[in-house]
Amino acid sequence: MEFLPENIENYSVNHTEKEPKLLSELNRETWAKVMIPRMLSGHLQGRVLSMFSKMLQPKNIIEIGTYTGYSALCLAEGLQKNGTLHTVDVNEEYTSVAKRYFDKSEYKENIVQHIGNAIDLIPNFSDKFQLAFIDADKESYSNYFYLLIDKMDIGGYIIADNVLWSGKVTNDEKDEETKALDQYNKKILEDKRVETILLPIRDGLMISRKISD
C-alpha cells in the first residue's frame, strides 16, 4: 500500500540526497536475487535513518533484523568514529549478503553481526545504546521494546519499522501480526518512559525517545 500519491513519492525521492553507491548496489542485488525484497528499507527511508543517526552521533546502535544490511549501513553513517553497531538476525542466508556489503564498506570494523534469536541475545549486551532500530518479526515488537528500553541511555531513540503494516492497523478485522503492531503502537504511546511520534514514512516509523527510567 502506498500512502502518498506516486507523483509526491517520486518528488520526495528526487529531492532527497542520493543513496551512496554501495547502497545502490545492495538495493539492486536485493531486488534481483533475494526473497521478499520489499523488506529492504530503500532510498527514502534509508536516508531518514541516516539523518537520525547523524543527528544523534551515537556511540552504540542496536538493530533487530538485519535482512541484507541496507538499514545497518544507513544507521552506521552517523556512528562516532570508534562506535559500534550490533545487528541481530536469525536468517543466515540474508545475513550472508549483508556481510559481503559490510566488508566492502568503510564501517567494516564498526558493524558486529549476531546470528540468533534477539529475545535471547538482547539481555547479553552490556553496552548502553543511544539508538535502536526494530525491524524483525512483528509479533515480538513489544518484547523487543521492553528488553531494549533498560539498555537505552536517557535521550536515546528506539525506531520501529512497519508500524502501519500497509494500513491494516486501521482495519476492524486484524490478523495476528496486525494486532501485535496495533498493540505495540498503543502500548508505546502510553509508556511514560518515552515520548513518541508515528511518522507515515513508507510503511510507518514509530520513533520513541527515552525520557526517564
Per-residue pLDDT of the chain (213 residues; tens, 9 = 90+): 567 788 998 999 999 999 999 999 999 999 999 888 888 888 999 999 999 999 999 999 999 999 999 999 999 999 999 999 999 999 998 999 999 999 999 999 999 999 999 999 999 999 999 999 999 999 999 999 999 999 999 999 999 999 999 999 999 999 999 999 999 999 999 999 999 999 998 899 999 999 999
In a domain, 113, yes or no: yes
Q: Give 167's contacts (C-beta < 8 A, 6+ positions apart).
A: 1, 3
The number of domains in the chain is 1
Within a domain: 51? yes
- Domain span including residue 156: 6-210
> What residues contact 144, with CB distance under 8 A and at least 6 apart?
64, 118, 119, 122, 134, 136
CATH of the domain at 199: 3.40.50.150
pTM above 0.85? yes
| DSSP-assigned beta bridge partners for residue 199 | 205
Residue 1 maps to a domain: no
Residue 34 confidence (pLDDT): 87
Residue 95 lies in a domain: yes
pLDDT at 64: 98
